[in-house]
Structure 1
Amino acid sequence: MKVILILVAASLLVASGFLVAFLWAVRNGQYDDDYTPSVRILFDDDKTPGDDNPADTPEPEPLVDIDDN
């Protein structure tokens, strides 16, 4: 029974250590994303209202040949 109490105490000590390390990392900006804002413009593909002109788009070809015979 004493072993269980020792293991619970040890696990609480380890868990509190991880919590302290996590809080330190958050407060010091370790999880801030510095890379994505600089490359976000490269993947920006917003369409302007004049981009879709139905007269310029060709009609899609049928996927199956339909014979009237």
Structure 2
Amino acid sequence: MTSAAASSETRERRVRCPSCGGDSIYAPSNAFRPFCSERCQQMDFGAWASERFALPGNGEADGPDGPASRGD
């Protein structure tokens, strides 16, 4: 193995934190990856739990009684 290959394996991969946009280390040493911190991870989870990430819909549920099963 060359020294260039060895240095690329030991180099930390940095990604953008989805919450704050700052640098985040994407490696097993970062327990909160892809987030930079526990705070950013919790903020994202809170947004998900309060359904701020919901996709717009027509209000009808898909399922046994929804529009997909009725053929409307």
TM-score relative to the length of structure 2: 0.33
Larger RCO: 1 or 2 (CA < 8 Å, sep 6+)? 2
Compare CA radii of gyration and give the structure with the larger one.
Answer: 1
TM-score relative to the length of structure 1: 0.34
